[in-house]
Structure 1
């Protein structure tokens, strides 16, 4: 079971809610810029590029092995931060929080919110 944060459109209450799994994202850890662009997470994309630039600049002084280790840490940080970044992005886009649900997958979490609607 996974905990999902659910978001609903304020303008269209009949629309389907969006579900964000509150767990580590392997997609975000393995391909951080692709994940950020796919979910329109411009802030996370910008921070990843800044971090990558800092690692590349520091690699001259710390060596290639240490730079590779720092990149792995940066990628892991992106994986752990992905759920929070998506939740903040939905709030900025005007979706209201609709609660949290434990479910096996995102579709079941969305269904639980639709069934609980008055």
Structure 2
């Protein structure tokens, strides 16, 4: 079972509540730019692109043997930070935090939040 943070949409906007799982995101760790685009985290995408560009330019100084593990470390960090980034983005867009639910899946957490 997983803990989900439940967010309600802006008032007057017909949508289901969002359920953000509080766990490591393999999607964010394996495909960071795709994860950021899918969830509309545009500023974070720009930061990620700048960090990767800086890592590419620093490769001549630090060496290729250090650049790849640093990229992997950043991707793993993003996997752990993904729930917080999504929660922050929803709050910034006007969604309100309703509370937490423990459920087997995000769909079940949404159903419990609707009741």
Please state whether the residue corresponding to 2:101 is helix, strand or coil.
strand
Q: 1:4 to 1:47 in 2, by over 3 A?
A: same
Q: Which residue of 1 aligns with 2:110?
A: 110
Once the two structures are superposed, residues 59-111 of structure 1 have per-residue CA deviations (whole angstroms, 9 ceiling, x without a partner) of 10111110001010111111111111111111111110010011100111111
Q: 1:33 to 1:11 in 2, by over 3 A?
A: same
Cα shift at 1:27? 0.7
**Which residue pairs with 2:72 in the alignment?**
72
Check the 8 A contact 1:51/1:74 in 2, yes or no: no
- 1:13 CA drift (Å): 7.6
The whole-number CA distance in structure 2 between the counterparts of 1:62 and 1:78 is 22
* Structure 1 unmatched runs, 5+: none
RMSD (CA atoms): 1.4
**Shift in alpha-carbon separation, 1:13–1:61, aligned structure 2, 3 A:** closer
**Which aligned runs of 4 or more in structure 1 are off by greater than 4 angstroms?**
none
| Deviation at residue 34 of structure 1 after TM alignment | 0.7
Q: Name stretches of at least 5 consecutive residues in structure 2 with no aligned partner.
A: none
Q: Aligned equivalents of 2:57 and 2:99: distance in 1?
A: 43
Which residue of structure 2 lines up, in the alignment, with residue 44 of structure 1? 44
Distance in 2, Cα, partners of 1:92 & 1:83: 14
- Please give the TM-score of this superposition, normalised by the length of structure 2: 0.93
